[in-house]
Amino acid sequence: MKALLVNGSPNQKGNTYVALRAAADALEAEGVEAEIYQIPAGPVRGCAACGVCKTNGGNRCAFDGDAVNAILDKMEGADALIIGSPVYYASPNGQLLSVLDRVFFAGAAGAAFAGKPGAAVCAARRGGATATLDALQKYFPISGMPIVPATYWPMVHGGAPGEAIRDEEGVQAAQMVGKTTAWLLKCIEAGRAAGIAYPEAPGGKKVWTNFIRA
């Protein structure tokens, strides 16, 4: 079993990393492989709403060369996803949101996400953490991903990179995200062995209802 952890902070070893590292260490202690993927520096475009990802077999964004298709590729081999972001103006990092819009829009056409646990952690100096987690957690249920619980909303507090290691409660919540992700993965594996599969949409096909009538 493997979990992919995505660091959406430009600080590779900053406070978001503190939370992700705590979750990764807890996963590994439970026997789950954990890979922390750093979103590379450099420009990231937003979703162009071109729809090419709906026609090319899924799991591939038309715009190659940044983190998006790398994450989609990694999710093919991962059983869970943990996203980490710094809090910027009481929201996730804009670069990360651009990546995630494209990852989940392209990924929706395939099976890279459904039935796989999802979690978000964030790092703030002072405020805006729950709003940030709200935004990040929106990606999971719409993609068929159960949201992982913790002992508290998984946020760590710190200003200077690495300072969050002193936020003991925040670090414990991030560790708990790792433990509960491992627990959910084991429950899902046991369920699969017992013949319990992730369900299909009622009727076997996703329904689209746009509220416009001719």
Based on the shown chain and the rule CB under 6 A, indicate whether residue 9 belongs to the binding site for ligand FMN.
yes
Based on the shown chain and the rule CB under 6 A, indicate whether residue 90 belongs to the binding site for ligand FMN.
yes
- Which DSSP string do the residues of 52-94 spell out, in sequence order? GGGTSSSS--SS-SSHHHHHHHHHHT-SEEEEEEEEETTEE-H
Q: Is 209 helix (H, G, I), strand (E, B) or coil?
A: coil
Q: Candidates 8-16, 49-57, 104-112, 113-121 — which segment interacts with ligand FMN by CB under 6 A? A: 8-16
CB 159 within 8 A of CB 125: yes
Based on the shown chain and the rule CB under 6 A, indicate whether residue 94 belongs to the binding site for ligand FMN.
no
Based on the shown chain and the rule CB under 6 A, indicate whether residue 127 belongs to the binding site for ligand FMN.
yes
Q: DSSP letter for 142, please.
A: G
CA distance 94 to 200: 33
The CB-nearest residue to ligand FMN is 14
Neighbours of 19 (CB within 10 A): 33
Give me the least distance between CB of 148 and ligand FMN, in Å please: 20
CB 68 within 8 A of CB 48: no
Based on the shown chain and the rule CB under 6 A, indicate whether residue 88 belongs to the binding site for ligand FMN.
yes
Q: Candidates 45-53, 156-164, 189-197, 199-207 — which segment interacts with ligand FMN by CB under 6 A? A: 156-164
CA distance 68 to 63: 8
Among 107, 117, 154, 158, binds ligand FMN (CB under 6 A): 158
Among 124, 136, 176, 182, binds ligand FMN (CB under 6 A): 124
- Point out which residues bind ligand FMN (CB under 6 A): 9, 11, 14-16, 86-90, 123-128, 158-159, 161
